Copies of this chain bind each other. A is one copy, B any other.
Amino acid sequence: MTHPIGLLASSGDVAAGVGERIRDSRRARGMTQADLADAVGVSRSAVAQWETDRAGQVRGNLVRIAGALGVSVQFLLDGNVGRRDGEAPETATEMAMLRLYRACAEADRAFLLRTARRLARAAVEEGGGAAENLDT
């Protein structure tokens, strides 16, 4: 039942080094802590705590911080290391499936999804394996 999913982004602290990147980005823009605090809408000491990793996570302010600093949230969190692109349709029939799906009416799309889900499930169970076929 338990799925060891930690293969992708598991090891250690996920948000390690966030403060450092915040500080670097801030200085890069020539802002003081007070400036950033003002831009984000928090107190100056809050910024100081972010940058010293005293506040493990930065709550919802992350998005505003990224906005004020002109960087992406992804960069603040990961440092832009583990860039992983989503998957795109590969074969022609898959693209066709997609096009048809888009052309359907809302209700029909729902129907298609449910049908597909049932069929897929059946296939998975038939194949004997767990749900690994639906991964990545």
* Residues of A participating in the B interface, judged by any CB pair closer than 8 Å: 1-6, 8-10, 14-15, 29-31, 35, 38-39, 56-57, 59-60, 62-64, 66-74, 77-78, 84, 86-90, 92-105, 108-109, 111-113, 115-117, 119-124, 126-127, 131-136
Contacts and interface: CB of A to CB of B under 8 A. Distances in A.
What is the oligomeric copy number?
2
A71 B101 contact: no
A97 to B, nearest CB: 5
Contacts of A6: 66-71
A57 to B, nearest CB: 4
Given A70-B136, A96-B113, A105-B123, 11 more contacts: A5-B72, A8-B68, A8-B70, A10-B64, A71-B86, A87-B89, A97-B101, A104-B123, A105-B122, A108-B122, A115-B115
B74 A103 contact: no
B30 A120 contact: yes
A86 B113 contact: no
B56 A14 contact: no
Nearest to A56: B60
Contact of A108 (B78, B88, B119): B119
Given A10-B67, A71-B5, A109-B93, A29 B87 contact: no
B134 A105 contact: no
B104 A98 contact: no
